[in-house]
A and B are shown apart, each in its own frame.
Chain A
Amino acid sequence: QSGKTIAVLFDGLYSEFWVAGMQIIKDEMKKRGYAVLEGISDKDDSKQFEQVRAMIARKVDGIIIVQTDSKAVIPAIRAANRANIPMVHFNRPPAESDAYSVAVVADNQTIAREAVLHSCRTAKQAGGKFKAAILIGNLGDPNAIQRRDGFQEAVSQFSDTIEVVARIPTEWNSDKAFAGLTNALQANPDINFLFTSSDFLIPQITQALKSANKWAPIGDPKHVIFTGFDGFPTAYELMEQKYMDACGVQNLFFETKLAIDAIIQMQEGKKPEKVLLDPGFAITQANMMEKREEMWGYTLLKQKKSG
Chain B
Amino acid sequence: MNSRNRITILLLQAAPYLLFLAILLVFGSLSDRFLSLANFTNIVIQAAPVAILAIGMTFVLLTAEIDLSVGAVMYLTGCILGLYLGGVPWPIGLMVVLVASALLGAVNGALVAYLGITSFIATLGTLFIGRGIAMSVSNTASVYFPEAITSLNRATVFGIPSAIVAVAVVFVIAWVLLQQTPFGRQVYAVGQDRDAATKAGLPARRIVFFCFVISGALAGMAGFVSSTQIGAITASYGLQAEFSAIAAAVLGGTSLFGGRGGVKGALFGALLIQTAANGLVIINANPYIYPLVTAGIIFIAVAVDGLRSHMLERLERRFIRPWEIA
Contacts and interface: CB of A to CB of B under 8 A. Distances in A.
Nearest to A185: B42
Contact of B288 (A13, A139, A187, A211): A139
B229 A207 contact: yes
B281 interface: yes
Given A207-B229, A210-B154, A169 B287 contact: yes
Contact of A187 (B33, B45, B150, B234): B33
A182 B42 contact: yes
Nearest to B142: A16
Nearest to B235: A13
B39 A186 contact: yes
Contacts of A183: 39, 42, 46, 277-278, 281-282
A206 B231 contact: yes
Interface in A117-161: 136, 139
Contacts of B49: 175
B234 A15 contact: yes
A204 B288 contact: no
A182 B232 contact: no
Contacts of A165: 284
Interface string A168-194: 110011111111101110111000000
A75 interface: no
Contacts, number: 109
B128 interface: no
Given A179-B277, A211-B153, A186 B282 contact: yes
Contact of B281 (A14, A16, A180, A234): A180
A207 B46 contact: no
A139 B39 CA distance: 27
A19 interface: yes
Nearest to B233: A174
Given A179-B277, A186-B282, A14 B234 contact: yes
Contacts of A211: 153-154
A19 B139 contact: yes
B100 to A, nearest CB: 21
A206 B231 CA distance: 8
A306 B39 CA distance: 45
A56 interface: no
A179 B288 contact: no
Given A139-B288, A167-B287, A183-B42, A203 B281 contact: no
A136 B287 contact: yes
A234 B232 CA distance: 11
Please classify how large the interface on chain A is, using the bins under 10, 10 to 19, 20 to 34, 35 or more.
35 or more
A202 B234 CA distance: 12
Contacts of B38: 186
B236 interface: yes
Nearest to B50: A175
Contacts of B45: 182
A187 B233 contact: no
A167 B284 CA distance: 7
Given A19-B141, A211-B153, A203 B232 contact: yes
B20 interface: no
Nearest to B237: A174
Contacts of A206: 150, 231
Contacts of B34: 187
A13 B231 contact: no
A272 to B, nearest CB: 30
A64 B278 CA distance: 40
Contact of A166 (B39, B144, B284): B284
A204 B38 CA distance: 19
A204 B232 contact: yes
B226 interface: yes
A190 B144 CA distance: 28
B71 to A, nearest CB: 11
Interface string B205-230: 00000000000000000000010011
B299 interface: no
Given A168-B281, A203-B230, A206-B231, A186 B46 contact: no
Interface string B32-60: 01101011001001100100000000000
B263 to A, nearest CB: 22
Contacts of A210: 150, 153-154
Contacts of B142: 15-16, 19, 200, 203
B17 interface: no
Nearest to B240: A173
Interface string A41-65: 0000000000000000000000000
Interface of A: 12-16, 19, 136, 139, 165-169, 172-180, 182-184, 186-188, 200, 202-204, 206-207, 210-211, 234
When A and B form their complex, which 9 residue pairs have the shortest distance between CB atoms, in order from nearest? A203-B231, A203-B232, A169-B287, A183-B281, A187-B282, A179-B46, A13-B140, A187-B33, A207-B231
6 contacts: A19-B140, A183-B46, A202-B232, A203-B150, A204-B229, A207-B229
Given A186-B36, A207-B153, 10 more contacts: A14-B235, A166-B284, A167-B284, A174-B232, A180-B281, A183-B282, A187-B283, A187-B284, A202-B232, A210-B150
